[in-house]
Amino acid sequence: MTLTVREFAPSDAEAAAAVRRAAVPFLLSTAESIAWEAAHSPAEQRFRILVAEADGRVIGVARAGLYHDSAVPGRAFAQPYVLPEERGRGAGLALVRAAEEYLRGIGARAVYAWVLDDGHAPGFAERRGYQRRRPSRLQRLDLVRTPLPDLAPDAGVELRAFADFADDPRPLYETDVEAIADEPGDVAFSGITYENWLEETWRVPLLDRDLSTAAVVDGTVASIAIAHSDGRTRYLSAGTGTRRAYRGRGLAKLVKARSLRLARAAGRTEAFTGNDDENAPMLAVNKWFGYEPTAAEWRYVRELSGSATAREGAPEA
């Protein structure tokens, strides 16, 4: 096998999306979304997609870039994906090495990755010198068989689709940024500009503005449920949050219930979500809806500076 790692080209979009879908089935990935991310990520992110090719066939991809919204400089991410049937042939290790080299060259000092708890990936990460940090739970909801609550908004609360904000989505941005700031995580959030939010959230092809829902209270967008869809059968919760002044009123359940019911009416048959283990409020909300565990993953980090080195002789992935 002749294995090469190179930069992504637009013609790789379909193959790259197929790799991601096969490697992590609960993620939504389309050729359009891959191409959009490659072309429209914020300049400060220094984003790259790397492709592992064996004998002319794309068998792996990796996403790499800086956390441009981190309060601490030098934080970066490297996320490899390899076709399940191609594991053990060195593509994963080649992608990670190339991603780390690129990130080191643009000033990254620590690289973060989400690693599936599948009995294989954690060992690969640890042999490469990555250290385990925090867990996350991935969950699935059967939209065909699971009863969904039909919650009615209280007086003064209006439920609106994101599509209603097409002329001015800034109120959605303001609510999203406030909610993100309070999410648990290991990369401190420093905020995001409105223009970057438009590129990373509002304009992405996976965003379904008809299914995404906002609760408006006295003219203020108080809570939002961001819905991604592959346009076929799958739905992904890409963020549910409520502004601080409106928490404790059941608004997160309200917007998510409406979004899920709309998704089912639109022909979506399964919904996915993921929550940090410390995000107790959303874990409780998703359990209440009937989401069931489908996988687990761990956050890993590797320091690119200092004396720590990986055991380069470890088996390849």
Task: Say what the pLDDT of residue 308 is.
Answer: 35
What are the phi and psi torsion angles at 288 (to 5°)? -60, -35
pLDDT in tens, 221-261: 999 999 999 989 999 999 999 999 999 999 999 999 999 99
pLDDT score for 184: 84
Q: What CA–CA distance (Å, rounded) separates 294 from 283? A: 14
Contact 67, 187 (CB under 8 A): yes
C-alpha 17/C-alpha 20 separation (Å) is 5
Band of residue 187 on the pLDDT scale cut at 50, 70, 90: confident
Averaged pLDDT for residues 274-299? 94
Distance of CA 291 to the CA centre of its chain: 18
Confidence band of 315 (pLDDT split at 50, 70, 90): very low
Strands 157-161 and 292-303, sheet pairing: unpaired
Residue 225 parent element (H or E): strand 220-229
Distance between alpha carbon 119 and the CA centroid of its chain, in Å?
22
DSSP string, 65-113: EE-TTBSSTTEEEEEEEE-GGGTTSSHHHHHHHHHHHHHHHTT--EEEE
The helix (run of H) or strand (run of E) holding residue 57 is: strand 57-66
E strands, 253-307, where? 270-276, 292-303
What is the structure's pLDDT at 190?
79
pLDDT band of residue 186 (cuts 50, 70, 90) is: confident
pLDDT in tens, 5-49: 999 999 999 999 999 999 998 889 999 999 999 999 999 999 999
